[in-house]
Structure 1
Amino acid sequence: MHEHGGPVWKVGELARRTGLTVRTLHHYEQIGLLRPAARTAAGHRVYDEADVRRIYQVVALRELGLPLDAIGPLLAGETDIAEQLAEHLARVEWQLARLRSLHLRLATLVASTASTGTTRPSELLDLIEEVVRMQDVISNYFSEEQLAQLEVRRRKIGEDAIAAVEAEWPELIARVQAEMTAGTDPADPRVRALARRWMELVEAFHGGDEGLRASLFAMYAENSERIRDEHCGPSQEMIDYITRANAAD
């Protein structure tokens, strides 16, 4: 067929050429991503070269991981593709960080197995438990969008600044613990100063975003013992102590 000054395709032909299903092409049309150039006298959809280019754009953006509801506004010029790509990159980098962490655990286990010639079932069980547990904790409290947002913040802040904050936490926790052990009143100026710095470090994490702040506090509140034992985090008692100190400011 050569109507409209160039080649055109019926939906079945286009599906065969692209590898997409007829159902998928119809769905793109239903949600406004694709509009056939014309219809035949019998009412069959007819697609031209512009439609093919549009389908390519949709498929390419889908391959980048963008959801269909974000693709329409992008193609219409209503949203910034650079921003969408940056958010997708952040999600991928977060996934890579998780994979690097898992890679380190697996590499350690492989090295141990190579030297001993065997792998104890308990080691595999521990590995499985750790991977599943941490994935569950993260997914229960932070959405994919929030994790992507955190990765964007991480890149903006810079690794050196983040490392400095992470290095300061153990010292700050130790100083607060010393005041608790000594029985210092939370309203004491020393404790209030520690509490202010505590909140500054917490804000470095959530950047003032109420959603991230709520997710972080919920995670700590419901997993305080695990975070304390496995990651040297603060106890719930310490968090309560800091809360009282901040209230006294």
Structure 2
Amino acid sequence: MEWSIGEVAKRSGVTSRTLRHYESIGLLLPSSTGTNGYRYYDDAALVRLQRILLLRELGVGLAAIADALAGRGDDVAALETHLGWLNDERSRLTTQIGSVRATLAALRGKETLMPEQMFDGFDHTQYKDEVEERWGAKAYADGDTWWRGLGEEGKQGFLEEQTRIQDAFSAAQSAGLGPDSDEAQAATARQFDWVKAGWNGEAPSAEAFAGLGELYVADERFGRNYTRVHATGAEFVRDAMRVYSERNLA
């Protein structure tokens, strides 16, 4: 059985123009073309289109999609791979839901607002409508105001500084130094400034800063950023933050 390009466009939500573009770049060829020039697509073409759309949903570019499809002749195996990617995406969405719930709890005064948790797995541009629909516009706006206020360069710099701090902690631990060493404490001072920036310039108290360190160990969503090099990296950072709190914030 075959379906016309108009029928495929209607059922798939992909415009006829897009289908013709896919044809022009060799990504999706019609199974046949009528004497009137109408394009038709059979079952195999529809399966290929589904695979294309799945990959597009995951943010894969058309050139990469073409390479992926060229290397996967077995539709069942390919769809099983897609299913695995979709399960990963579901896990990311679950993380986002936890992040927004944590933000709501903080905004209601139950917990401390922490940007690391707010933006864990969260693409606030892509999922803005969904967040607002589920939890209300205010929850999204309040959590997003600080982040957007940074500007593109500020956002990039904030994330890059986090990575540099993680690397500094890992380097100190790799060198066999303790959490109270000058190197570890220098990294912790940068960590303090980084947290302060994320809290809209409000300096955390000794209790709050040390408590954040405890959270790195207690909650893997936080600690995984510090365990990429050393399995005990989160504990190392926690101890360094406790020392810093006792020395500088008490």
> Could you tell me the TM-score, scaled by structure 2's length?
0.45
Query: Which structure: larger Rg?
Result: 1
As a proportion of its length, which structure holds more helix? Answer: 1
> Could you tell me the TM-score, scaled by structure 1's length?
0.45
